[in-house]
Amino acid sequence: MADADTFEKKETVTSNLIPLADLLSRSVGNFAPGDSEAKALKDNLPRLEAIVREKLNYTDDAFKAWPVLEEALLELENQLAISGAEGEAFSKDISRLKKSLPKTGALIPFSSNAPVHILAAYLRGQLAVQRKALKLEIEPLIARLKDILAVEREKSPEAKSPDRLHSTLDFADSFLNFEELSSILPAGGSEAMPEDRYRRIEKILETLQGAEALLFGKNAYLIVSYAEAGRLGQDWEKSFPVSAIEIASDGRVCDTAVKIFDALMEKAAELFAAIRIGKLEVESRYIPEIHGDFFIHFDWRRFTDQELSACPPVLLLIEPESLLERELNDFSRMLSSNRPVKALVIRRNLHSGASPGEFAFRQEPGALAIAHRNAYVMQSASVSPEFIFDGFREGIDSPTPAVFHLFLPEDGEGHSGFLSASAAVEGREFPGFVFDSRKGPWWGSRFDIHNNPQPETDWPRHSLAIMDENGKETTLDLFFTYADFAAMDSVSAGQFYLVPPRYWSDDLVLISDYLSLPEEEIYSKVPFIWVVDENDTLQKAAVSWPPALTCRERLDFWRFLQENAGVHSYHVEQATEKLRREIEEETAKKIAALEASHLSEIEKAKEETARSAMEKLAATLLDMDVASNLADSLTPQPVPQARQATATPAAPDTPEVEFVEIPEVKTEEKPKEEALPLGEAWIETPLCTSCNECKDINSRIFAYDANKQAYVADPKGGPFADIVIAAEKCPVKIIHPGAPQNPDEPGLEELIKRAEPYQ
């Protein structure tokens, strides 16, 4: 439904075209927002909608909405015949709905001409808004200019003539002598207006008072091709009331539109110049020497957007074949001239251009218009009324030329126009798009392809629920391509061949996959699409060469639109890939550098640790003044008590060495395998890390030397248990417990066992 009355509020204009179901539920919601309110009415809204649809069925026209809705409400009440209290409540809700529904607007049933009716509804509302503002300017201007002339007339000698006095003061006829009065009246006090200014203001007034005839008399000027003229059943005046309609012969449509536009703009220029000069005159700012030349050359190119949008649009309606074959030069010249003529290029045939068995690259009216760069271009099939409505609003209001390329298929044998239009959009046969040259300096910013199914993919992907040969439910993923659209048409059906299942092989490839195959593989494959036969059985239909090529051509055009709209832009993807590679290389370099640096750090740390250990060892050995046997120090051996030299803590410079008594040992008497007896506890001091562990356990037994490395200060300074615990806790395992010094210490047996691993 289109509601012309609310066109005034431009920001809400998109809501003026709404599906009937939405209008009904919104209207009920206005007075019964709760779920339980007006429940019977809400439950029966689909029935009400069905009644309205029935009333509009089989028509191809726009209806005044209110009478149809009122009649349908009455019929609903009669059909349901609800009695009792419920019936009373229902009637009350029906009355409230009547109040809530808009009393203006049109009901437009879906048909191939629905977009034309939408356009007509928009024109009716749109001009009223633009003109209202202009009329509000003109009326006070006329009054002020009249005042100026009236004052001026009062200054003239004729204003004081006996006849004029007599006509003005006739009530004083009995007591005034108008001859004498005229002779004694003083001459005018102020200077008279120059004659040419007076005449100019008179002319402006005359123009402003004739505005209705000059500009406001018509809602639109339609130039209709012969072929298109028959589509509305010659009922153009009814569809476009208060419009001038001219049927133009083939090849003359664009030329006629340009001539009508120029003539109309001449009149509009006269009116707008009069308004502008009039405004200057009332402020006494018009200077002929300055402004005269501007207004001599004043034409539509100097109109403001507001002035231009107050002019009735000049629209031409033509079919694409005629435009491309007979009017291409005129069409191009018209667009290049930047005249804001609006062109409706209406395609009705299912197949455009070449016959079904042939292949040709399409001439796209939309793409041709885009090539002129200055036009507003909208392409859409009849399945998107809101999109079309928005396109009309933008294009008609635009001060640029506009081209609306519409696909309005009619119902055909075995299929509806709506289904054909939907399939054309799905199969990229007729993708929708908008190119708006005013959107910005960047080419990509002017394109919009959002009104297509899955605009980011080559073909829309769908999941089809099917039942396999075992009766099990499953799904089939498939793409809807141009070939699927073409297969719906009986004329093209000869281009598809059912392939019996026994011939199904890997060489039979879905057309969507086939189009992506490399050239060297494509010759050995046969493309197919899925179709359903009269038994609802899925069949593979091989696609012949012409529709397969057209698939590729349609995909090419679709990608042209995608790229322009910024989807899969070649240059963007190239740049992104290059950037990705650069980032990867940079990251790899950084990782390698970090790894190298890390390895070097590890090596350095190792060297540092080894060097430090060696320095400590060397320092200890030097301190002990036993450098003569460095190897022995580096390879600690269990030292038998009899041979052990125990370094007592001493000043680093003068290590004091005390030798204990060595009992004579007859080694030859001992069996070779017998272990040496354990002596006192001892520590591999050069390897001590100075962790404090042993000292914390018993600082009498363990002490640090001058290098802060541990040694056994007094093996009898504490229990054997402390020595064993220290040996266990020493992180570098360099404490050797030796033998217990006190044979009476409790638990010795177990302590000796614990000490064994550290001896």
* Interface with ligand SF4 (CB under 6 A): 683, 688-695, 702, 710, 726, 730, 732, 734-735
Helix H or strand E segment including 623: helix 570-624
DSSP bridge partners of 476 = 464
Shortest distance (Å) from residue 620 CB to ligand SF4: 12
Closest to ligand SF4 by CB, 104 vs 692, is 692
Distance between CA atoms of residues 118 and 122, nearest Å: 6
Shortest distance (Å) from residue 591 CB to ligand SF4: 38
Distance between CA atoms of residues 217 and 221, nearest Å: 11
- The count of other CB atoms within 10 Å of the CB of residue 432 is 26
Shortest distance (Å) from residue 735 CB to ligand SF4: 5
Query: Closest residue (Cβ) to ligand SF4?
Result: 694
Shortest distance (Å) from residue 672 CB to ligand SF4: 33
Contact between 480 and 424 (Cβ < 8 Å): no
Closest to ligand SF4 by CB, 300 vs 702, is 702
Shortest distance (Å) from residue 711 CB to ligand SF4: 8
Shortest distance (Å) from residue 582 CB to ligand SF4: 53
Closest to ligand SF4 by CB, 315 vs 681, is 681
Tokens, residue 751: 């302590």
Residue 48 identity: L
Distance between CA atoms of residues 371 and 373, nearest Å: 5
3-state SS string for 664-695: CCCHHHCCCCCCCCCCCCEECHHHCCCCCHHH
Closest to ligand SF4 by CB, 356 vs 715, is 715
Distance between CA atoms of residues 239 and 301, nearest Å: 31
Shortest distance (Å) from residue 709 CB to ligand SF4: 6
Closest CA to 382 of 359, 354, 350: 350
Rounded alpha-carbon distances, angstroms, from residue 4 to 15, 125, 126: 11, 5, 8
E-assigned strands of 274-375? 314-318, 342-347
Residue 157 identity: P
Closest to ligand SF4 by CB, 121 vs 694, is 694
Shortest distance (Å) from residue 653 CB to ligand SF4: 23
DSSP bridge partners of 499 = 540
Contact between 525 and 509 (Cβ < 8 Å): yes
Closest to ligand SF4 by CB, 106 vs 735, is 735
Shortest distance (Å) from residue 691 CB to ligand SF4: 4
Closest to ligand SF4 by CB, 500 vs 731, is 731
DSSP 33: -
Strands 473-479 and 461-467: antiparallel
User: CA torsion 719→725→731→737, rounded to 10°?
Assistant: 50
Closest to ligand SF4 by CB, 240 vs 702, is 702
Closest to ligand SF4 by CB, 345 vs 723, is 723
Closest to ligand SF4 by CB, 624 vs 688, is 688
Closest to ligand SF4 by CB, 204 vs 734, is 734
Closest CA to 400 of 305, 464, 513, 328: 305
Say which residue the tokens 């022995």 belong to: 632
Contact between 385 and 297 (Cβ < 8 Å): no
Shortest distance (Å) from residue 703 CB to ligand SF4: 10
Distance between CA atoms of residues 691 and 701, nearest Å: 16
Shortest distance (Å) from residue 752 CB to ligand SF4: 20
- The count of other CB atoms within 10 Å of the CB of residue 302 is 14
Shortest distance (Å) from residue 647 CB to ligand SF4: 14
Closest to ligand SF4 by CB, 367 vs 712, is 712
Contact between 695 and 703 (Cβ < 8 Å): yes
SS3 call for 462: strand
